[in-house]
């Protein structure tokens, strides 16, 4: 698959071709493709080793719709993890079910959290 565009490299390609174009926007901020690609790289570098994370490790993503959600989703692709999407409005019981069912050992979350 060498040289082909895939989900792990799509932001890198957009950052090279259109660095100043907006990639994501939410109510609080916006990011260009270049800034988003840098953020994905920064976060991806911090994940390996977290909670025994390796390729194909399931990771729960529990965030409202925001720039950070998009970045974290692509971080998981870039490091080869499996994204397990859970609503940030999920109850503690619902979150526990998803954690047990997926065997996820890591949760990426935001201020909107389980109650």
pLDDT value for 101: 95
CATH topology for 10-109 is: Rossmann fold (3.40.50)
Rounded Cα distance, 97 and 106, in Å: 14
* Of 21 and 111, the one with more pLDDT: 21
Q: Judge contact between 100 and 69, C-beta under 8 A.
A: no
* Of 8 and 95, the one with more pLDDT: 95
Each residue's pLDDT tens digit, 80-108: 888 999 999 999 999 999 999 999 988 88
Q: List the domain boundaries for the chain.
A: 10-109
Report whether pLDDT(114) > 50: no
Rounded Cα distance, 23 and 80, in Å: 22
* Of 11 and 61, the one with more pLDDT: 61
- Tell me if the pTM is above 0.75: yes
Q: What mean pLDDT, rounded, does the chain reach? A: 84
* CA dihedral sign, ordered 54, 60, 63, 69: positive
Q: Judge contact between 88 and 113, C-beta under 8 A.
A: yes
């Amino acid at each position: 698959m060498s040289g082909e565009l895939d989900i792990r490299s799509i932001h890198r390609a957009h950052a090279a071709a259109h660095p100043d174009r907006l990639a994501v926007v939410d109510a609080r901020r916006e990011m260009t493709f270049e800034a988003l690609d840098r953020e994905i790289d920064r976060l991806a570098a911090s994940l390996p080793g977290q909670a025994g994370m390796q390729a194909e490790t399931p990771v729960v993503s529990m965030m409202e719709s925001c720039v950070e959600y998009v970045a974290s989703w692509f971080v998981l692709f870039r490091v080869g993890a499996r994204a397990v999407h859970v609503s940030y409005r999920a109850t503690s019981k619902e979150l526990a079910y998803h954690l047990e069912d997926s065997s996820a050992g890591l949760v990426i979350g935001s201020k909107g959290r389980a109650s």
